[in-house]
Amino acid sequence: MTLIRKAREYTRKLWVRVVIMGLLAFVALALTQLIEPLVPKDIATNLTGSAADRLLQIIANAMLSVTIFSITVMVTVYRSSSTQWTPRVHRLIIQDRTTQNTLAVFIGAYVYALVAIIMRELGIYVHDRALVLFGMTVIVLVVIVVYLIRWVLHLQTFGSLIDTTRQIEDVTRAQFKDRLENPCLGANPLIDDVPSDAQAICAKESGYIQHIYPEALNSMAEKRGVKLYLTKNIGQFVFLNEPLLMVGGFDQSDQCDGDLEGFASELQECIVLGDLRTFDQDPRFGLVVMGEVASKALSPGVNDPGTAIDVITRIGRILSNYSDEVARDRDTKLEHIYVRPLDPRDLIDDGFGALARDGREVVEVQQRLQVIMSGLMRHPDDGLGKAAREAAENYLRRSLHAIDFEPDRKRVLSSARDDVQNAVGREVAGAGA
């Protein structure tokens, strides 16, 4: 599983896809060399090398221009998205599969054409036997046309607000699904205090916890006969020499392969730290980014409450998939690891906290917040329902204090659920008296 996780990380990088397509170009040319001798001479001589040369020249000229244009569009979208919505969304757009695949195909086709032209000039491809080279070049052209059409269709929405928020919602929903299908990363839920005799493993550097390899951690803990308590969850920031995890049951006198320091170095390699938060294994970060998009829309310079309302609905849709990690069954349990479960209060604060504060005077935003909170209060999970109830009261209380116009106050108050209205209404009435 650790190798699979690492492979997934690399497949999201543009340069990996470009290298793969470049290697496929060499493979395609090698196949033409292997297939060419198998073609009967009377068929192979139907086409000369000049036919293939014209196609190769077209590909070489066109792909260079198209690739430069695509990179220009990509960079422009990255910069505009960071400026208009939030800089954090930049990392998500970089991993857009359609963009990465299109650029990789264009560059791979360019490499194919250049290498084929060089091989023709060196006489590796005989002028009188170029049928297989011509056929392979036609196949490359078909692939180019298909990806060019996909790229043009993708550009219709690429970088737009709707497309961006949908991407954030999709990746956040996917991370939630992965997390809840494998609760607490497949480990035991850390709901009790860490044993007092547990020894701390401290961070070697300051940074955000970007990735955890629980299978590798469990394997090392099983070999040592210890328990690992991950007191920090993915997405949290740790400082240099701050406890990163705790090791319980480690007795150095019984160890023959090294002391705690050596074991700590092995464990630290399985917890990746970086200067930025990422979406991998971190559903909370997706909620934070969505909240930032809504907050930016509520700024005076943008003044777009409709976007904030759309984001609020999307966050509510994501949180409706929540379930208690402690109560969920696990397909495979990593018995030697303990991980803190997601707290529904943190999830609601990540998604709604900033936009509820920034939109405290916007009636329409506060009304939608109360509607979504009312829906989450009906959630079958009691923890999420209670967290939504607390948040609804706090958001309503803040809004009523910020809004001076009485009809607007009544509109916001009427959008809340009856029990929330009664609780907050009594406080406001008491404060007014």
Q: Which residue in the block uniquely carries the two structure tokens 């005989």?
A: 126
Q: Is the pTM of this model over 0.85?
A: no
**Per-residue confidence (pLDDT) for residue 284, from 0 to 100:** 92
Per-residue pLDDT of the chain (433 residues; tens, 9 = 90+): 556 666 666 677 778 888 888 888 888 888 887 777 776 766 656 666 677 888 888 888 888 888 888 888 888 887 777 777 777 777 777 778 888 888 899 999 999 999 888 888 887 766 666 777 888 889 999 999 999 999 888 888 887 788 888 888 999 999 998 888 888 888 889 888 888 888 888 999 999 999 999 888 999 888 888 899 998 889 999 999 999 998 987 765 555 445 677 888 888 888 999 988 888 888 999 999 999 999 988 888 788 899 999 999 999 999 999 988 888 776 667 888 999 999 999 999 999 999 999 999 999 999 999 999 999 999 999 999 999 999 999 999 999 999 989 899 999 999 999 888 888 876 665 555 4
**Residue-level pLDDT at 238:** 93
* Reduced 3-state DSSP string for the chain: CHHHHHHHHHHCCHHHHHHHHHHHHHHHHHHHHHHHHHCCHHHHCCCCHHHHHHHHHHHHHHHHHHHHHHHHHHHHHHHHHHHHCCHHHHHHHHCCHHHHHHHHHHHHHHHHHHHHHHHHHCCCCCCCCCHHHHHHHHHHHHHHHHHHHHHHHHHCCCCCHHHHHHHHHHHHHHHHHHHHHCHHHHEEECCCCCCCCCEEEECCCCEEEEEECHHHHHHHHHHHCCEEEECCCCCCEECCCCEEEEEECCCHHHCCCCCHHHHHHHHHCCEEEECCCCCCCCHHHHHHHHHHHHHHHCCCCCCCHHHHHHHHHHHHHHHCCCCCCCCCCCCCCEEEEEECCCCHHHHHHHHHHHHHHHCCCCHHHHHHHHHHHHHHHCCCCHHHHHHHHHHHHHHHHHHHHHCCCHHHHHHHHHHCCHHHHHHHHHHHHHHHC
Q: Quick one: CA dihedral 187, 190, 195, 200, positive or negative?
A: positive
pLDDT of residue 127: 63
pLDDT for res 331: 65
